[in-house]
Structure 1
Amino acid sequence: MARLLCLLAAVALALPAAAQTAPVLPDLDGDPVVLVVHGGAGTILRANMDADTDAAIRAALAQALRAGHAEVVAGRPALDAVSAALQILEDDPHFNAGRGGVFAADQTVRHDASVMDGATGLAGASSGTMHVRHPILLARRVMEASPHVLLSGEGAEEFALQQGLELVPNTFFHTPGRLRGLLSVQERERSATGLARPAPHPWQMHGTVGAVALSAGGSLAAGTSTGGMTNKRWGRVGDSPIIGAGTYADDATCGVSATGHGEYFIRLGIARDIAARMAYLDESVDQAASHVIGTTLAEAGGTGGVIALDAEGNVSMPFNTEGMYRGTITRSGRVTTMIYGDEE
């Protein structure tokens, strides 16, 4: 039997490209967006961005989009596209996730992540991990291989080990720039209060990566991954691993990934609120997302943004900060990346 399977595999590989069966993509008008990603929102200004960094960020966003797009056009689940895209961003130190995660107060890097499948309503998340190279993969394994939604700390890492996920020393995530950021914050706090205690500036709160994908079969999935807040203490957890706050997906409405001041996103249930407005008020994805970020979040005093995608390939990327790293790719493979607030 083993020899027969090997022979069949060899024959399949030898077939000409024309003989391969292409996945059937949903019959949507035009060239719909099938994947949207973000890399965080905040004080992102052209005046503060050098050309090399601008180019590197756009290149990383484009690489992530193409990685996810390859999964979509191959006919794989939307969660595969989300996972592929976010692993690219987790490995890039320009973003506050994975390798570029910010430091907690004790000079460790701790990660949070979540995923949700719009077709089934299933979700998975992890929080406070220190050794899992790709937290987005852990979140997915929590969804697929455990009876739970959210695992945290040592328990999450024990589960990751049992699942065969790649574990690395915490120093793998340490970067000089993030350490300088932490030391600067702590020095400012000591100068202002005489104590090293949390008094976060907005820039400390903004930094996450996220993706929402539309599969060839017309289903949605969303995922979010982050290093959290610079100088966080006491096991602080933001919105990224909280389903309904930082991540949400429902084929009947939309998929959402958020970035911003997590405490506001948790209290307001930002991601779920966008889907609810579509379901109950019959709003479009852009109407719902724009209202929630521009009105609900802003009036509460919160800052940040979201990416949202519906099952027709309509996308919305509102934010109430100066900029947000973001990008889309269409069914045909057309890539768009944006950073600043004046880019459309």
Structure 2
Amino acid sequence: MAKKKPLAIVIHGGAGPDSDHIHENRKGYEDGIKEAVEAGYKILEEGGSAVDAVEAAVIKLENNPLFNAGRGSALNANGEVEMDAAIMRGDDQASGAVALIRNIRNPVSLAKAVMMNTKYRFLGDMGALEYAKKIDIRMEPSSYFITEHQFDAFSKKRQEEFTSSDRIGMDQLNARMHGTVGAVALDRDGNVAAATSTGGTENKKMGRIGDSCVIGVGCYAKNNTCAISGTGDGELLIKNIIAYDISALMEYKGLTLQQACEEVVLKRVKKDEGDVGVIGVDGDGNIALVFNSERMHRGWKTSNRQQGIEIYATKK
């Protein structure tokens, strides 16, 4: 009898600085992570694809107002929501991405539709919105996406900017406020996939595009190496081409998934440059969860009986 191929799902809900809000809502975050993991793993268990699994997991996080993606997205400097998302499958490295989109309930599903149904790889702004309307992607009014927490954060930032005499310090503070969600999966056919979605950074300049929707940065998937979803300071991830770099280290230098993730996140990126976190899975079902920040919301489940939910670093 042929040996069963392993299954695995790993999700993240963003890496970055700690906050009172996280402590006050810790159980809510942990429940949200668990729900996302279970949604993705159920699809894998029933024979579904890694692509469908990562989409299902990310949808759960986009629908959860605690996470900075979909509902609960950060507000830009105009008090509006602009969202980015991307998805990639490892067997043929097809991908789809959307940027600067509004009113789309689940940006990851629109990114998947771009990958599956168009000749394009990247749609943005009004073009993405028009395509979404054409294929009946679910939409919501702008008010749906604005949570009390994000509005308070936006209002506080605006007030601080107007009253602060230390503008350099304020710019540094703005750069550290971020959040993303993502998932990677391995299905029973040995295919990997990755997806990432975000509402961006609080009080960002209108039109700013971060790492999450950039293939090779926010996510990357290749069957003979790995699937990766990244999170943290977007401009820093873009500078280092984080997700592809991990895959390349595995392909060209023979590093394991864990070694490659640690090399990129903990060695190549200097700690004082900013926050970076990644989740990954390879074709053998090995998983990695590596970050240099104070916390990274994360959860995982595999057919090798690995399972867990964490927010902070585990004590060794």
Secondary structure of 1:199's aligned partner: helix
Q: Which letter maps to 1:111? A: M
Aligned to 1:306: 278
After TM superposition, give the deviation of residue 27 of structure 1 in Å. Answer: 3.2
| 1:328 CA displacement | 0.4
- Asked whether 1:42 is paired with 2:16, we answer yes
SS at match of 2:183: strand
* Secondary structure in structure 2 of the residue aligned to 1:305: strand
User: Cα–Cα, structure 1 residues 332 and 290, in superposed 2: closer, same or farther, change >3 Å?
Assistant: closer
> Displacement of 1:276 after TM fit?
0.3
> For this pair of structures, how many residues does the alignment match?
316
Return the TM-score normalized by structure 2: 0.94
Offset at residue 298 of structure 1 (A): 2.1
Q: 1:114 to 1:308 in 2, by over 3 A?
A: same
| Cross-structure match for 2:4 | 27
- Deviation, 1:335, is 3.4
Distance 1:145 1:225, change over 3 A: same
**Residue identity in the other structure for 1:214:** L
Residue pair 1:38, 1:210 contacting (<8 A) in 2 also: yes
- Taking the aligned partners of 1:331 and 1:320, their CA distance within structure 2 comes to 28
**148, 155, 164: which one pairs with 1:176?**
148
Residue number in structure 2 paired with 1:72: 44
For 1:97 and 1:245, the matched residues in 2 are separated by: 17
Q: Counterpart of 1:231 in structure 2: which amino acid?
A: N
Whole-angstrom CA distance in 2 between matches of 1:279 and 1:69: 27
Equivalent residue, structure 2, for 1:281: 253
Q: 1:270 to 1:107 in 2, by over 3 A?
A: same
8 Å CA contact retained: 2:271, 2:292: no
Cα shift at 1:205: 3.8
| Match in the other structure for 1:209 | 181
CA distance in 1, matches of 2:149, 2:2: 43
Q: 1:214 to 1:190 in 2, by over 3 A?
A: same
When Rg is computed on C-alpha atoms for both structures, the one with the higher figure is: 1
Q: Which amino acid aligns with 2:227?
A: G
Q: 1:315 aligns with which of 287, 292, 299?
A: 287
Residue 330 of structure 1, aligned match among 288, 302, 312 = 302
Q: Is the 8 A contact 1:205 1:228 kept in 2?
A: no
CA contact (8 A) 2:174 2:202 kept: no
Determine if the alignment matches structure 1 residue 108 to structure 2 residue 85.
Answer: no
What is the aligned-residue RMSD (CA, Å)? 2.4
User: Structure 2 regions of 5+ residues with no counterpart?
Assistant: none
CA contact (8 A) 1:45 1:340 kept: no
Q: 2:91 & 2:102 partners in 1: Cα distance? A: 31
Shift in alpha-carbon separation, 1:74–1:211, aligned structure 2, 3 A: same
Give a deviation string over 1:161-183, Cα, whole Å, max 9, x none: 11110011111101111011111
Q: Does 2:53 correspond to 1:81? A: yes
Q: Does 1:122 align with 2:94?
A: yes
Letter in 1 for 2:100: G
Contact 2:40 2:57 (C-alpha < 8 Å) held by counterparts: yes
Does the residue aligned with 2:12 lie in a helix, a strand or coil?
strand
Q: Describe how 1:123-138 pairs up with structure 2 within 5 A.
A: 123-138=95-110
Structure 1's 72 and 180: CA in aligned 2 closer, same or farther, altered over 3 A? same
2:11 is matched by which residue type in structure 1?
V
SS at match of 1:324: strand
Indicate the percent of aligned positions where both proteins have the same amino acid. 36
Displacement of 1:70: 1.0
Whether the 8 Å CA contact 1:298–1:320 is kept in 2: the answer is no
Q: State the 1:26 CA deviation.
A: 6.4
Indicate if the aligned counterparts of 1:110 and 1:128 stay in contact, CA closer than 8 A: yes
Gaps spanning 5+ residues in structure 1: where? Answer: 1-23
1:10-34 Cα distance to aligned partner (Å, 9 max, x none): xxxxxxxxxxxxxx99635xxx560
Report the CA distance shift for 1:216/1:202 in structure 2 as closer, same or farther (over 3 A): farther
Change (3 A) 1:119 1:25: farther
C-alpha contact 1:33 1:315 (8 A) present in aligned 2 = no
Letter of the 2:35 partner, please give it: Q
Change (3 A) 1:193 1:161: farther
The aligned residue for residue 16 of structure 1 is: none
1:158 alignment partner, one of 106, 109, 130: 130
For the Cα contact (< 8 Å) 1:209–1:225, is it kept in 2? yes
Q: Distance in 2 between matches of 1:25 and 1:229?
A: 48
- Paired with 2:39 and 2:91, the residues of 1 have a C-alpha distance of 22
Partner of 2:67: 95
**Is the CA contact 1:62–1:337 (under 8 Å) kept in the aligned structure 2?**
yes
TM-superposed deviation, 1:38: 0.1
Q: Which residue of 2 aligns with 1:58?
A: 30
Q: Which position in structure 2 is the counterpart of 1:9?
A: none
Please tell me the residue identity of whatever aligns with 1:313.
G
